[in-house]
Amino acid sequence: MKLSALVLATTLASAVTHAAQLEITLNQPALDVQPYHRPYIAVWVEDSERNAVATIALWKQLEEGDKWLKDLRQYWRKIGRNAGSEVDAVTGATRRPGDHLLQWDGTDSQGKPLPAGEYLLNIEASREEGGRDYHRVAFKLGQQGQMNLPAKVELGPIQISIK
Amino acid sequence: MRIKPIALWIKAAGLAGLMLSSQAAQAHARWLVPSHTNLSGQEAHGIALDLSISNDIFHADRSYGGSEDKSRNGRAKPQLIAVAPDGSRSAPIAYFDVLRKSTAGVTLAQSGTYRIGLEQPATVFTFYKDAKGERGRVFGGKDSKDIPAGATELSTTRMQARVETFVSRNQTTALQPTGKGLELGSGTHPNDLFTGETIRWQLLQDGKPVAEGTEVTLMRGATRYRNERGDIQLKTDAKGFIEVSLAHAGMYLLEAGVNRASDTQGIDNERASLFLTFEVVPA
């Protein structure tokens, strides 16, 4: 039930999607640890005053509900704590290690296009029995550019292209 | 070592012990430490609490209400109370003496911010100078039988300590000051504290901002593993606010105390102190 609602939401969302404004290739490194718990990962956008404006992705263990969401500390304080159903469309299960492509169309959580200007891209990962990594980088929406974030431990290298 | 010899601190406080220095009047730090300060999820969860009387911050020394809790002086054990986000007060929560600390569990059924703390009737002490000129103090008022014969400069202080912490489940909600004693008022939410960010807190004394220059000490836990305690000394501004940015994550204890002249017969000075535990997480 939950899953089919998710698929439907995703389909609807993609049907009205504007052209991608932000393309993120996020590497989730394979770690040689036993046991390996897939990390929780959140990717979201804040305005320059650090007010959350859009969630791009939230990967969590769906069967656990929100019990461990607090460990994505920055996501939790900025969005998770106050989030309603608007993040359902971008919520999915934790992923296997590898390169993950994410796209964002420059709209807020209501689907309204955001004005051009400076925003903050946030990427946070937290792994059970592992560590936590967090990036917060400024970018200009509406101005073409390319950014590369160096690998940390829970997050590998990240390429960001602004269209 | 935080305990100063009585003679020294009374002298430092001046005026026959009427105005006690903020450091001096409490013999030991009192604290409680929650296992979690933020909880998420649809189901109600519990937290565990450790409570102790200890100057070695967050390393337990004495349990509450145990045989070594001298401050009890025969009175009832302090009550552990949780005030829910909707303002409702819990029944006293059972806690257990495990020699050097007490432990308890609290279930957070509502979403929002809980105030969890120890409540205890105020303690009355009388300070004096004995016939040989030595300073001392006893429990009770000026009629206490424990005051040595010939003692002079009798001064009675009523002390009210607030020992508490805040824990939020899902939402953070605004603190609801009680208007009594020394407590946290408006400012940064105590369950939203990150390293490198400015924390701004107003302290209230009986519901009003504390006087400018009130001393506040912040102590980071795990003092046993540092040669320097690194206590942070702050003073409130004209509106009763302190402002600080903390470089290190950890559990911290905020300690402060304020005095005012009493309007109760037989009591000279009212002292209110605050021991507030809060957590700072890495940004």
Q: What is the DSSP string of B54-73?
A: -SSTTS--B-TTSTT-GGGT
DSSP state of B181: S
Distance CA B173, CA B67 (A): 38
The verdict on a CB contact (< 8 Å) between A65 and B170 is: no
The reported pLDDT for the residue numbered B48 is 98
| Strand B96-97 with B102-108, pairing | antiparallel
The reported pLDDT for the residue numbered A120 is 98
The reported pLDDT for the residue numbered B28 is 84
Q: Choose, out of B36, B38, B172, B173, the residue to mutate when testing the contact with A (most A CBs < 10 Å).
A: B38
User: Considering only alpha carbons, which residue of chain B is nearest residue A69?
Assistant: B40
pLDDT < 50 positions in chain B: 1-26
The values of phi and psi at residue A57, to 5°, are: -155, 145
Task: State how far residue B253 is from chain A, nearest Cα, in angstroms.
Answer: 21
Tokens of A79: 């969005």
If residue A45 lies in a helix (H) or strand (E), which one and from where to where? strand A40-47
163 residues of chain A, pLDDT tens digit each: 444 444 444 444 444 446 789 999 999 999 999 999 999 999 999 999 999 999 999 999 999 889 999 999 999 999 999 887 778 889 999 999 999 999 999 999 889 999 999 999 999 999 999 999 999 999 999 999 999 999 999 999 999 999 9
Tell whether A134 lies on the interface with B, counting CB pairs under 8 A: yes
- Contact (Cβ atoms closer than 8 angstroms) between residue A31 and residue A130: yes
The reported pLDDT for the residue numbered B160 is 94
The values of phi and psi at residue A3, to 5°, are: -65, -45
Fold adopted by B6-280: Immunoglobulin-like (2.60.40)
The reported pLDDT for the residue numbered B27 is 62
- Contact (Cβ atoms closer than 8 angstroms) between residue A48 and residue A120: yes
Given the candidates 2.40.128.260, 2.60.40.4070, 3.30.565.10, 3.40.50.880, the CATH classification of the domain at A18-162 is 2.60.40.4070
The reported pLDDT for the residue numbered B156 is 97
Which residues of chain B make contact with A66, given a CB cutoff of 8 A? 40-42, 170
The reported pLDDT for the residue numbered B13 is 38
The reported pLDDT for the residue numbered B149 is 93
Map out the domains of chain A as residue ranges: 18-162
User: Considering only alpha carbons, which residue of chain B is nearest residue A70?
Assistant: B40
Compute how many other C-beta atoms are within 10 angstroms of the C-beta atom of residue B46.
Answer: 14
If residue A139 lies in a helix (H) or strand (E), which one and from where to where? strand A132-141
Selecting from A70, A77, A82 the residue whose C-beta is nearest the C-beta of B39 gives A70
Tokens of A157: 């290298």
Distance CA B95, CA B111 (A): 24
Q: Choose, out of A70, A79, A152, the residue to mutate when testing the contact with B (most B CBs < 10 Å).
A: A70
User: Considering only alpha carbons, which residue of chain A is nearest residue B281?
Assistant: A73
Distance CA A65, CA A2 (A): 12
- Contact (Cβ atoms closer than 8 angstroms) between residue B277 and residue B255: no
Map out the domains of chain B as residue ranges: 6-280
Distance CA B152, CA B162 (A): 31
**CB < 8 Å from A in window 129-148 of B:** none
The reported pLDDT for the residue numbered B71 is 60
- Contact (Cβ atoms closer than 8 angstroms) between residue A42 and residue A87: no
Torsion of CA B191, B192, B198, B204, to 10 degrees: -30
Distance CA B105, CA B93 (A): 8
Torsion of CA B41, B46, B52, B58, to 10 degrees: -30
> B170-182 burial, b for 16+ CB within 10 Å, e for fewer?
bebbebebeeebb
The verdict on a CB contact (< 8 Å) between B170 and A73 is: no
List pLDDT tens digits, range B112-133.
999 999 998 899 999 999 999 9
If residue A9 lies in a helix (H) or strand (E), which one and from where to where? helix A2-15
DSSP state of B93: B
Tell whether A34 lies on the interface with B, counting CB pairs under 8 A: no
The verdict on a CB contact (< 8 Å) between B171 and A82 is: yes
Distance CA B255, CA B233 (A): 10
Is the complex ipTM more than 0.85?
Answer: no
If residue A58 lies in a helix (H) or strand (E), which one and from where to where? strand A52-60
Tokens of B121: 């009737």
Residues in chain A: 163
Q: Three-state DSSP class for B23?
A: coil
Which residues of chain A make contact with B192, given a CB cutoff of 8 A? 77
The reported pLDDT for the residue numbered B73 is 64
The verdict on a CB contact (< 8 Å) between B281 and A67 is: no
Compute how many other C-beta atoms are within 10 angstroms of the C-beta atom of residue B135.
Answer: 19
User: Considering only alpha carbons, which residue of chain B is nearest residue A66?
Assistant: B41
Tell whether B45 lies on the interface with A, counting CB pairs under 8 A: yes
pTM of the model: 0.86
Beta strands in chain B (DSSP E): 30-34, 38-39, 45-53, 79-83, 96-97, 102-108, 112-119, 123-129, 135-139, 152-169, 182-187, 198-205, 208-209, 215-220, 232-235, 241-245, 250-261, 269-280
